[in-house]
Amino acid sequence: MNFFSLLRSSSAAPVRSCSRILASEAGPSRHWAQLAARRRSFNTSTVYDYQRTEPTLYPRWINRAQPQQQMHTDETGEGRDSRSIKMDSPEDGKAPPDSSAPPSSSSSSSGDGSDGSSSDSPPPPPPPDPPTPATTSISKQSVPEIYPQVLALPIERRPLFPGFYKAVVVRNPAVVAAIKDMMKRGQPYLGAFLLKEEHADSDVITDINSVHPVGVFAQITSVFAANAGPGAKEGEGEALTAVLYPHRRIRITDLVQPGGLGSAAKVEAVENSSESHATEQLPTPPPSPELATPEPVPQASEISAALLQTSFLQSYDISIVRVDNLATQPYNKDDQYIRAFMSEIVSVFKDIAQLNPLFRDQITNFSINQVATNVFDEPDKLADFAAAVSTGDVQELQDVLESLTVEDRLRKALLVLKKELINAQLQSKLSRDVDSKIAKRQREYYLMEQLKGIKKELGMESDGKDKIIEKFKERAASLKMPEAVKKVFDEELNKLQHLEPAASEANVTRNYLEWLTQIPWGQHSPENYSISNAQKVLDEDHYGLKDVKDRILEFLAVGKLRGTVQGKIICLVGPPGVGKTSIGKSIARALDRQFFRFSVGGLTDVAEIKGHRRTYVGALPGKIIQALKRVGTENPLVLIDEVDKIGRGHNGDPASALLEMLDPEQNTAFLDHYMDVPVDLSRVLFVCTANVLDTIPAPLLDRMEVLEVSGYVSEEKACIAQKYLGPQAREASGLKNADVEIDPAVIDVLIKYYCRESGVRNLKKHIDKIYRKAALKLVQDLGEDVFPEPVAAATSTGSGTDEQKTVERQDAPSNEPAATETATPRADSSENERKVTTVARKPMEVPASVHVRITPDNLKEYVGPPVYYKDRMYSKIPPPGVSTGLGYLGNGSGAVMPIEATIMPGKGGLQLTGKLGEVIRESAQIALSWVKSHSNELGITATMDEQILNDKDVHVHMPEGSIGKEGPSAGTALLTAFVSLFTKTKVKQDIAMTGEISLVGQVLPVGGLKEKILAAHRAGIKTIIAPEANRPDIEENVPESVKTGIRFVYVEDVREVLQEVFRGEPVAEKWKDTLRY
């Protein structure tokens, strides 16, 4: 069926009728009413308009184009005059019960199709004055052409167009009351203007710039309560739904502030003022043809009468505006451009209607219910019709409304429809693609089901579920499942046999059985307990680390004697780059065990350790169950990295979940949330790594055996670089067979001036950089003649075994400012593809005549200037108030840290600078307090009662202020600096000290002695003062090569520190008698 022929046929019939008939008992008017009712093709709304109960000097509105029409009285001469106005509305037959409440100009529904003479109550008799004019049988509803002041109603989302209904909801109480009053007075007219802000919502206009100046003059055809319900009360927050029928375009000329014409006693004065104002503000024709061409200027008396007629709106807190009518400029319907635009719009209508059924239904509703004439024959109405039914941009629709030239209006409407067509085509394409995919899958599924049925009938293949069940039984037969696990397996397998394959529970059960049969129940790999083999493997992979290697050998010796080894939990703690992770790999290789590694750094979900519940979609077991499935044995080595950085979130505490897994007393029956059966982890060797122990929870730390992996000394670093790092870097740089050597002195320079960290990771980076730089210089010096690009070889292999393929080019965007950020413009379309190959490129041989030597003299060309220039600030004896301490840096290395103190006028305060932490600040306070309390013994004051620093301030600074400093080990150095300052005695530059002090002067042990002593050795320190409690640690763990040339003094009290530091000074001779301990 031709859709648009239906539109034409339906629009050719009279779809809207307006007639004024006499509501009498009998007569010819009854015949006309019945005839009109039979000709109507749909329901009508009847609005009764009664005469005013008070006489007035002016009509309700002025209509110069249509003179006042006479009305006939009936034969009885009773003089009953009532007018019935029938107006079409989309809400015909659907009016709510309260739509007939207003006695004048309110909407009522004639759903039964009867004529308008019937009513629920007869109209009241008219007043005796003025006399009844002559009436006619049939009259036409009149719309005022002059309506200078109207209620301004802002609307949102999209503008209204003349001839097309629109329902709006009004919630402002003042606007609701004004609309009701307008309906009662028989003046249901207002101006509708589109809001400029997209999300604005208001029923009043506070600023004339908040709405578009061009809107429509609309008539309220019907109103009903929007919140009508069982508990709703009239007048209390009531909202109205008003159905508007726009008649013409209007333009706002002025925003009239409400509240000036509220008194009925001042009607005459208001009338005169309105008349004079209207005379002054008469509209004039605009100079531009694009603007409106106003109607002939009406008489001032007519405008004044119209202003008086709407003066009752001044008493409401609403928006009232002055408007001018906008008329469409004259046009020739036979113009070729106009006809071409109309034909194209109709064609686009047809295309959209074929693609979008919803759009087709919308056009049908508009054309049948709202358009009075055939819009396809009137260009201006066709443009409005196209904009009204489209869902285009709001600003584009407003432009169509503001266009007064028919050709321009058609052009803008066609643009809106074209965008609608593009959107409809895209939607149709997407719909076709989805339908084709669905149809393809359905067809494949149907054919596969047929194929299964055929094979089953021929006996070629059994049911898929039977094969799955048989597979699970075969897996279970090869495993040594415990009885509890075997029972669960049988129950789940029985459940799967009775479930349909398409059921969701079947997939859950099948996945569970997959995991249950892939855990290596009773399967383990043979272990190698050979001590010599383990020693060889550990020495091949690592240099030094005697403590760690001894612990692994102890573990193997116990296993060799017992024949079995229960799971152990070893925690390797040390600074970054010392090889903790690689130690775990070496242990697995030495034991000949399967290896699995996962990191818990930043982990916040308990489910990663304990698994998810099976009820969740996409549930999985925890990491340890996944590890057992991956390695296929019960006795792997599981490396858990970054235990000290485990997180805690809203999904639980993973550190607490590790307690069960890492506890030898509990992990014999580890219960995963997903598996829900006990799993034996006692044969798993867990190796954990951490940088510090402070952040590891105490219950978790208690379950692990801690092995401290301290930093390497210079000799160990040099050996590691020569045996491991150098060969690896040379091979990675393509110089394996080339004559490129690094002098051993270069390694010492790198360790001393570039890489002072306790680990070797930074040293490895610098060695890699040296070999890369050597490769670059080698290629640049020899040129492309020695190292040509194998272009010919690559193309020749394309015709052999390797088939040349191409892919779409994805080049990097150009750096030019005018270039786009997503693609690079290409001159030739043939360059849009890039060739790909599977042939590996062969390495090139370096000529034997090439010899490269890296020495300390040319090292700067490869790695740049040194990072560290000197190890200590003072090469000579520093001034009084300066001492030398030893610190431990966060990267695992030690440092020599000078402490400077000075005194200045003040109020006895202590000022600390150098980015010092809270603990080191407290150490400074303790040191100063001890010095104050023993000032007389130290010879600072002459008597016991004399006080120091009453009018002096002390300032303590530790250089390298950008580096944070924390810890109690600087206590002895701070106290020495204070004593040196107050006694004006210098401290030798080759004496360094470390140790925590108490308030009574005891020296307490500290940590990081190996790194601190290494830094002192590098700086040329001759004497180190350390706590007596640290003597075993220094003698056992610090290599002799580091202690060579250093004299160690072990102290228990700060008095011993002062005696040693100021040995040979005059002040020290006095302390022999006064400073005793």
For 770, phi and psi rounded to 5 degrees? -65, -45
pLDDT surpasses 50 at 26: no
pLDDT surpasses 60 at 231: no
Of the listed ranges 252-266, 638-652, 810-824, 1039-1053, the least confidently predicted one is: 252-266
Q: What mean pLDDT, rounded, does the chain reach?
A: 74
Question: What is the per-residue pLDDT for 1025?
Answer: 94
Mean pLDDT, range 364-388, rounded to an integer: 66
C-alpha dihedral over 632, 638, 641, 643, to 10 degrees?
120
pLDDT surpasses 70 at 896: yes
| pLDDT interval class at 308 (50, 70, 90) | low
Give how far Cα 192 sits from Cα of 160, 196, 470, Å. Answer: 7, 13, 76
Asked whether 176 and 50 are in contact (CB, 8 A), the reply is no
Question: What is the per-residue pLDDT for 33?
Answer: 39
Residue with more model confidence, 142 or 470: 470
Asked whether 605 and 556 are in contact (CB, 8 A), the reply is no
pLDDT in tens, 144-167: 777 778 888 888 888 888 877 888
Asked whether 886 and 994 are in contact (CB, 8 A), the reply is yes
Strand ranges across the sheet with 910-913:
910-913, 952-957, 894-905, 882-888, 991-993, 1023-1027, 1047-1051
Mean pLDDT, range 763-769, rounded to an integer: 92
Mean pLDDT, range 80-98, rounded to an integer: 37
pLDDT in tens, 1028-1057: 999 998 988 888 888 888 999 999 999 999
Give how far Cα 922 sits from Cα of 926, 927, 949, 974, 1003, Å. Answer: 6, 9, 19, 11, 15
| pLDDT interval class at 205 (50, 70, 90) | confident
Question: What is the per-residue pLDDT for 402?
Answer: 76
Give how far Cα 498 sits from Cα of 288, 509, 693, Å. Answer: 85, 11, 54
Which tokens hold the place of 437? 């995919």
Question: What is the per-residue pLDDT for 1031?
Answer: 92
Question: What is the per-residue pLDDT for 1005?
Answer: 92
Spell out the residues 6+ positions from residue 267 whose beta carbon is closer than 8 angstroms to its own. Answer: 308, 311
pLDDT surpasses 90 at 924: yes
pLDDT surpasses 70 at 320: yes
- Provide the annotated active-site residues: 969, 1012
Helix (H), strand (E) at residue 246: strand 240-256
Which tokens hold the place of 1016? 């002192």
| pLDDT interval class at 452 (50, 70, 90) | confident
Residue 9, burial from CB neighbour count under 10 angstroms (0-12, 13-18, 19+): exposed
pLDDT surpasses 60 at 915: yes
Question: What is the per-residue pLDDT for 767?
Answer: 93
Report the percent of the chain where pLDDT is more than 90. Answer: 16
Of the listed ranges 137-151, 359-373, 382-396, 640-654, the least confidently predicted one is: 359-373
Spell out the residues 6+ positions from residue 30 whose beta carbon is closer than 8 angstroms to its own. Answer: 24, 115, 117
C-alpha dihedral over 602, 605, 608, 609, to 10 degrees?
90
pLDDT in tens, 959-969: 887 788 888 89
Residue with more model confidence, 673 or 108: 673
Mean pLDDT, range 96-111, rounded to an integer: 35
Question: What is the per-residue pLDDT for 956?
Answer: 94
Residue 347, burial from CB neighbour count under 10 angstroms (0-12, 13-18, 19+): middle
Residue with more model confidence, 182 or 200: 182
Report the percent of the chain where pLDDT is more than 70. Answer: 74
